[in-house]
Chain A
Amino acid sequence: MKRRSIVKYAAVAAAMSLGLTACSGGGGGSDQAKESGTVRVTLANHVWTEGIKAAIPEFEKSSGLKVELTQLGEDQLSDQYNVKLNAGSDEIDVMMYRPLQEGKAFAKNGYLADLTKNVSSDSGWDWKDYQEGPVKATTVEGKVVGVPIITEREVLYYRKDLLQAAGLQVPKTMEELEAAAKAIKASSPDTAGFVARTGKSTAVTQFSSFLYSFGGDFMDSSGKASVNTDAAKKAYAYYGGLIRNYGPANVSTDMSWPEAMAIFTQGGAAFYTEADSLYKNATDPAKSKVADKVGFAALPAGPAGSKPYNIPSWALGVNQNSSNTDNAWKFIQWATSKERTLAAQKAGVPGPRTSVWSNPEGTSTYPKDLAEAISASAKNGVGHDRPEVVTVGKAREIVGAPIVASITGADAAAAANDAQTAFQTFLDSEKK
């Protein structure tokens, strides 16, 4: 074939392989007339979204606005924001985002509108009602850039029947948890003693509570990396060891919550540590084979006590480039009102409002032991569950490496030392 065909193939290949970055160059949006009557809302697939979706006609009726809803999986949502917000698109008005994952980066890039005035303008809606941790996470450099909608704490999910059969108490400390997991694995080899997330990046958030409970953190108070302290090394060895020694038989190092939850809800494990906001997956008979046998407890205490994370996992923000900011705020104001938060919380979404938590109705639908575990965790919880940096994705991969090393039986302490060097280099590069 002639030279021209090479050029042709080259051109096609270029278009395909470079499509990735091409997306970020294009996009844009049409010049909208000021304040359109349609609010374009982008939400993640989440139980909170299901509730709000059902209630949207109510909002449309009372406000006279139309809501155009886009719903995406977590990763797709994140990629979508990267492309559209990078291109300065005005196609999104209201966006559901993760304050701890993307908040800093989005605020730094100027993607999120300043909502400080909006939140303080309506005393009936009451910004002061919001818990301190969530408010901190959605406030960047003194500006409020989002309204938290869901809070999460790590709790212990366990199987009442298996514990009873083995004559075990609900573990209160990390040692007791390990002993119980060992006992159950020994008595029934087909059932794992313990299961949790194992993917390098995905496990970081759930590992964080273990790290805090052993007395460590990802960074010290001066902002230096601290993933190779004695406490951190012990935490890595403990978390990985639990999974390696008492986890499912063919454990993979790719599990996020859907895989780990599947093992637990299929009856494959006695203990599982996970976010409380996912509890419905375990107690809903349509999704869980062990729905009536699941118990909840606060995260067992490590050498530094029981210190689970207590974080706002999702918030609503307004796209800085939206030409529809007033109506976008109207939507947020409605979606996060006391009534809606109460309704969401009753449907199984732990909210960020103090008044809803102090209202007995707010926890009326929760299993009693879960409500107790949440209330205990809220008291001594830590406000972050991953390194608080701009490029969270990369940081998670670095600090997550010792977790998988530990799960696979490699030298976790050596991996922690490597991670320390890499993480410090990363932190230095972010400061530049």
Chain B
Amino acid sequence: MSVLNPPRSTGTRRPSGPVGAGGHFSAWANRHRKWLFAAPAMIFVGVLIVFPLAWTVYLSLTDSQGSVRAATDFIGLQNYITVLSDTERFWPAVGRTLAFTGVALAFEVVLGMCVALLLWRPFRGEKWVRVAILLPLVATPVAVGMMWRLIFDPNIGFANQLLGMVGIPPQPWLSGQDTALGTTIFMDVWQWTPMVVLILLAGLTSLSDEPDEAARVDGANAFQRFFFITLPLMMPTVIVAILLRGIDALKTFDILYATKGKGGGSFHEVETLNVYAYGLSFDYNQYGLSSAVLILFFMIIIGTMWLLTMRKKAVGK
């Protein structure tokens, strides 16, 4: 904020002369320039973030259902009590959300690091490989979901046909109660690993070569150099990648909805918090409950981010 606060003197060094309406305005604007420049951003934050958030908090304290314009009663924390004591849908959804995020993230970071290391040193055809790796990233998640849904169709899908060619019996993939979540994690990994690669590659290319060379002179082998030199130096970048991708993975909705539909499948097998809240809003029209779920979800996101940011701070020291 201090950058925006100009030295007082600049405002007084204006040419003297008749002061019209425009002059008044510019003097006023000069005095308030730190607010004036920040105004568009503040309006944006107010309209698109603070208002919806406040409105959602308000809804979560009412019994709003059917229509948001219908008369509602203020019921305090009742929705939160209902949601937090719901072991049938809410807690399993929390578990799935965390499992989905944790597993997808682990795969994406490890795979991303491997690919980034491969792409780190220049090689022939590097450009083509980079373009190819980026392709999944540019596709719309809904389209990606639809595509994999076709590929994994238990009867006419390509995946089972391919397995059949090598003599493996067909797998249930998305249709199995136990395999559906794993399959959607695979789809997420397929689509988002490239993003992690990009971030890590940027980190790798900004590393100085000297520590690595020194270690090489000292006779360290490739594994030692990676685990004791490159990885520790890369930690801040890795945590940024985890932070960005983690928030995204927590919020995943499109892939799950496009492949399994409302409720995350007949047994809610891929129902994460987002899918659950969506169903509460758009299928059950229970806006109060849905808002309570979203607020709790919001708190989970904030908590996770806080933990990661603390970690990054510790690593950065």
Contact = CB atoms under 8 A, between A and B. Distances in A.
A16 B305 CA distance: 15
A393 B261 CA distance: 13
Interface string A373-391: 0000000000000000011
Contacts of B172: 250, 252
A268 B287 CA distance: 42
Contacts of A10: 301-302, 305
B264 to A, nearest CB: 10
A16 B277 CA distance: 13
A397 interface: yes
A17 B301 contact: yes
B52 A9 contact: no
A11 interface: yes
A137 interface: no
A18 B298 contact: yes
Interface string A178-205: 0000000000000000000011110000
A230 interface: no
Interface of A: 1, 5-6, 9-11, 13-22, 24-25, 75, 78-79, 82, 85-88, 105, 108-111, 198-201, 248-254, 259, 262-263, 266, 268, 390-391, 393-394, 397, 400, 404, 408
B284 A391 contact: yes
Interface stretch (B10-18, B124-132, B204-212, B289-297): B289-297
Given A21-B59, A201-B262, A250-B170, A109 B70 contact: yes
A109 B72 CA distance: 13
B34 interface: no
Sorted nearest first, the 7 A-B pairs with minimum C-beta distance are A252-B175, A22-B52, A250-B154, A393-B283, A200-B266, A109-B67, A253-B266
A17 B274 contact: yes
A21 B266 contact: no
Given A6-B309, A13-B305, A82 B282 contact: yes
Interface string B246-281: 010001000000001111011100000010011101
A393 B281 CA distance: 11
27 contacts: A6-B302, A6-B305, A9-B247, A9-B309, A11-B45, A11-B49, A13-B251, A13-B298, A15-B52, A20-B278, A20-B290, A20-B294, A21-B281, A22-B52, A25-B52, A25-B68, A79-B282, A88-B69, A109-B69, A199-B266, A250-B160, A263-B156, A268-B155, A391-B66, A393-B284, A394-B283, A404-B267
Given A21-B52, A109-B70, A391-B284, A250 B175 contact: yes
Contact of A82 (B69, B263, B281, B302): B281
A104 B295 CA distance: 30
A18 B301 CA distance: 12
B285 interface: yes
Contacts of B53: 14, 18
A20 to B, nearest CB: 6
Contacts of A75: 261-262
Q: Which size class do B's interface residues fall under?
A: 35 or more
B21 interface: no
Nearest to B312: A1
B36 to A, nearest CB: 21
Nearest to A15: B49
Nearest to B306: A6
A305 to B, nearest CB: 30
Interface string B215-250: 000000000000000000000000000010001000
Contacts of A17: 251, 274, 294, 297-298, 301
> Looking at chain B's contact residues, is the secondary structure mostly helix, strand, loop, or mixed?
helix
Given A13-B301, A105-B66, 16 more contacts: A6-B302, A9-B309, A15-B52, A24-B287, A25-B52, A82-B282, A86-B68, A88-B69, A199-B261, A199-B266, A200-B266, A252-B175, A254-B261, A391-B66, A393-B283, A394-B284
B25 interface: no
A390 B66 contact: yes
Contact of A78 (B175, B282, B301, B302): B282
Given A24-B287, A25-B51, A86-B67, A201 B263 contact: yes
B255 to A, nearest CB: 15
B237 to A, nearest CB: 13
A14 B267 CA distance: 29
B56 interface: yes
A21 B56 contact: yes
Contact of A18 (B52, B306, B316): B52
A103 to B, nearest CB: 13
Contacts of B265: 253-254
Interface string B162-178: 00000000101011010
Contacts of B301: 10, 13, 17
Contact of B305 (A9, A25, A262): A9
B55 interface: yes
A416 to B, nearest CB: 16
Contacts of A253: 175, 177, 265-267
Nearest to A24: B68
Contacts of B290: 20-21
B172 to A, nearest CB: 6
Contacts of A198: 266
Contacts of B291: 21
A391 B285 contact: yes
Nearest to A203: B266
Nearest to A192: B155
A13 B302 contact: yes
A408 B172 CA distance: 13
The interface centre, meaning the residue of B51, B262, B294 with most chain A CB atoms within 10 A of its CB, is B262
A1 B309 contact: yes
A45 to B, nearest CB: 15
